[in-house]
Structure 1
Amino acid sequence: MTTFVDRVELHVAAGNGGHGCASVHREKFKPLGGPDGGNGGRGGDVTLVVDQAVTTLLEYHHSPHRKATNGQPGAGDNRSGKDGQDLVLYVPDGTVVLDKQGNVLADLVGQGTTFVAGQGGRGGLGNAALSSARRKAPGFALLGEPGEARDIVLELKTVADVALVGYPSAGKSSLISVLSAAKPKIADYPFTTLVPNLGVVTAGSTVYTIADVPGLIPGASQGRGLGLEFLRHVERCSVLVHVLDTATLESDRDPVTDLDIIEEELRQYGGLEERPRIVVLNKVDIPDGQDLAEMIRPDLEQRGYQVFEVSAVARLGLKELSFALAGIVAEARASKPKEEATRIVIRPKAVDDAGFTVTYDEAEDVYRVRGEKPERWVRQTDFNNDEAVGYLADRLNRLGVEDRLMKAGARAGDGVAIGAEENAVVFDWEPSMMAGAEMLGRRGEDHRLEAPRPAAQRRRDRDAERADPDREFDEFNPF
Structure 2
Amino acid sequence: MSRFIDRVVLHVSAGKGGNGCASVHREKFKPLGGPDGGNGGRGGDVVLEVDSSVHTLLDFHFHPRAKATNGRQGEGGNREGGNGSDLVLKVPDGTVVLGTGGEILADMIGTGTRYVAAQGGRGGLGNAALSSKARKAPGFALLGEEGVERDLVLELKSVADVGLVGFPSAGKSSLVSVLSAAKPKIADYPFTTLQPNLGVVSSGDTTFTVADVPGLIPGASDGRGLGLDFLRHLERCAVLAHVVDCATLEPGRDPVSDVDALEAELAAYKPALTGDAGLGDLADRPRIVILNKADVPDAADLAEMVTPDFEQRGWPVFTISAVSREGLRPLTFALAKMVQEYREAHPPAAPKRQVIRPIAVDETGFSIIADPENPGGFIVRGTRPERWIRQTAFDNDEAVGYLADRLARLGVEDELVKMGAEPGCSVTIGDVSFEWEPQTPAGVDITRTGRGTDARLDQVDRIGAAERKHAHRVRRGLEAADPEDQ
TM range (shorter): 0.7 to 0.9
Q: Give 1:225's aligned residue.
A: 225
Question: Could you tell me which residue of structure 2 aligns to residue 64 of structure 1?
Answer: 64
2:166 is the alignment partner of 1:166: yes
CA contact (8 A) 2:110 2:349 kept: no
Corresponding position: 1:19 with 2:19: yes
Aligned to 1:108: 108
TM-superposed deviation, 1:114? 1.0
Q: Could you list the per-position Cα deviations for residues 442-473 of structure 1 after superposition, in whole angstroms to 9, with x for gaps in the alignment?
A: 4322345579999xx9xxxxxxxxxxxxxxxx
Indicate the residue corresponding to 2:312 in structure 1: 302
Percent identical residues = 62
Whether the 8 Å CA contact 2:413–2:438 is kept in 1: the answer is no
Give 1:443's match in structure 2, choosing from 444, 451, 470.
Answer: 451
Structure 1 residue ranges without an equivalent (≥5): 458-479
2:442 aligned residue:
434
| Aligned residue in 2 for 1:374 | 385
Query: Using the alignment, how far apart are the partners of 2:132 and 2:80 within structure 1?
Result: 19
Residue in structure 2 matched with residue 288 of structure 1 by the alignment = 298
1:396 paired with 2:407, answer yes
Q: What is the DSSP-based 3-state SS (H/G/I as helix, E as strand, rest coil) of the residue aligned with 2:233?
A: helix
Change (3 A) 1:81 1:188: same
Q: Distance in 1 between matches of 2:151 and 2:463?
A: 35
Would the alpha carbon gap of residues 108 and 437 (structure 1) be closer, same or farther in structure 2, given more than 3 Å must change? farther
Amino acid at match of 1:297: T
Q: 1:195 to 1:343 in 2, by over 3 A?
A: closer
Report the Cα offset of residue 211 of structure 1: 0.9
Where does residue 157 of structure 2 map in the other structure? 157
Q: Is the 8 A contact 1:382 1:388 kept in 2?
A: yes
Q: Distance in 2 between matches of 1:452 and 1:107?
A: 59
Task: Quote the offset at 1:115 in angstroms.
Answer: 1.1
Following the alignment from structure 2 to structure 1, what is the Cα–Cα distance between the partners of residues 266 and 447?
71
CA RMSD of aligned residues (A): 3.2
Q: 1:257 aligned to 2:265?
A: no
- How far the C-alpha of 1:53 sits from its partner, in A, is 0.8
The 5 A counterparts of 1:346-361 are: 353=362, 355-361=364-370
Cα shift at 1:103: 1.4
Q: What is aligned with 1:462?
A: none
Question: What TM-score, normalized by structure 2, do the two folds share?
Answer: 0.82
Cα distance change, pair 446–109 in 1 and its aligned pair in 2 (3 A): same
CA distance in 2, matches of 1:60, 1:54: 12
Secondary structure of the corresponding residue to residue 407 of structure 2: helix
AA paired with 2:36? Answer: D
TM (norm. structure 1) is 0.83
The one-character-per-residue Cα deviations of 1:52-96 (angstroms, maximum 9, x if unpaired) are 111111111111111111122222233322222211111111111
* C-alpha spacing 1:76/1:257, structure 2 compared with 1 (3 Å): same
Give distance in 1, aligned partners of 2:224 and 2:72.
52
* Separation of aligned partners in 1, 2:464 and 2:284: 64
Pair 1:149–1:354, CA change in 2 (3 A): closer
- Tell me the SS of whatever aligns to 2:331: helix
Evaluate the alpha carbon distance shift between residue 273 and residue 369 of structure 1 in structure 2; reply closer, same or farther with a 3 A threshold.
farther
Q: Given that residues 127 and 140 in structure 2 are in contact (C-alpha distance below 8 angstroms), is that contact kept between their aligned partners in structure 1?
A: yes
Corresponding residue of 1:410? 419
Change (3 A) 1:431 1:307: farther
Aligned to 2:212: 212
SS at match of 2:80: coil
Secondary structure of 2:283's aligned partner: coil
| Native 8 Å contact 1:381 1:388 kept in 2 | yes
Q: Distance in 1 between matches of 2:354 and 2:44?
A: 27
- TM-aligned CA distance change 1:354 to 1:78, over 3 Å: closer
The Cα of 1:145 is off from its aligned counterpart by 0.6
Question: Which ranges in structure 2 are unaligned for 5 or more consecutive residues?
Answer: 272-281, 469-486
Show CA shifts across 1:25-61 (max 9, x none): 2233446422222222221111111111111111111
Quick one: structure 1 residues 354 and 98, their matched pair in 2 at CA, closer, same or farther if it must change by over 3 Å?
closer
In structure 2, how many angstroms separate the alpha carbons of the residues matched to 1:396 and 1:424? Answer: 14
One-letter code aligned to 1:358:
S
Larger mean CA deviation between 270-279 and 241-250 belongs to 270-279
Distance 1:170-1:95 versus aligned 2 partners, 3 A rule? same
Distance of 2:354 and 2:111 partners within structure 1: 20
More deviation, 68-77/136-145: 68-77
C-alpha distance in 1, partners of 2:366/2:333? 61
Number of equivalences? 448
After superposition, the Cα gap between the structure-2 partners of 1:424 and 1:278, relative to the gap in structure 1 and judged at 3 Å, is farther
- How far apart in 2 are the matches of 1:321 and 1:357? 67
Supply the distance in 1 between the matched residues of 2:295 and 2:193 (Cα, whole angstroms). 23
1:335-354 matched pairs, under 5 angstroms: 335-336=345-346, 353=362
Q: CA deviation at 1:318?
A: 2.8
Corresponding residue number in structure 2 for 1:311: 321
Tell me if 1:267 matches 2:267.
Answer: yes
The one-letter code matched in structure 2 to 1:232 is: R
Describe the SS at the equivalent of 1:216: coil
Contact kept, 8 Å, 2:407 with 2:413, in 1: the verdict is yes
Kept after mapping to 2: 8 A contact 1:388/1:444 = yes
Preserved contact between residue 11 and residue 152 of structure 1 (Cα < 8 Å): yes
Residues 264 and 14 of structure 1: is their aligned pair in 2 closer, same or farther, counting only changes over 3 Å? same
CA distance in 1 between partners of 2:346 and 2:132 (Å): 57
Contact 2:24 2:36 (8 Å CA) reproduced = yes
Quote how far apart the aligned CAs of 1:162 are: 1.5
The structural deviation recorded for 1:417 is: 3.9
1:390 maps to a residue whose letter is: G
Do the aligned partners of 2:124 and 2:144 also contact (CA within 8 Å) in 1? yes
1:415 Cα offset (Å)? 5.9
CA distance change for structure 1 residues 445 and 332 in 2, over 3 Å: closer, same or farther? Answer: same
Q: Give distance in 1, aligned partners of 2:163 and 2:300.
A: 24
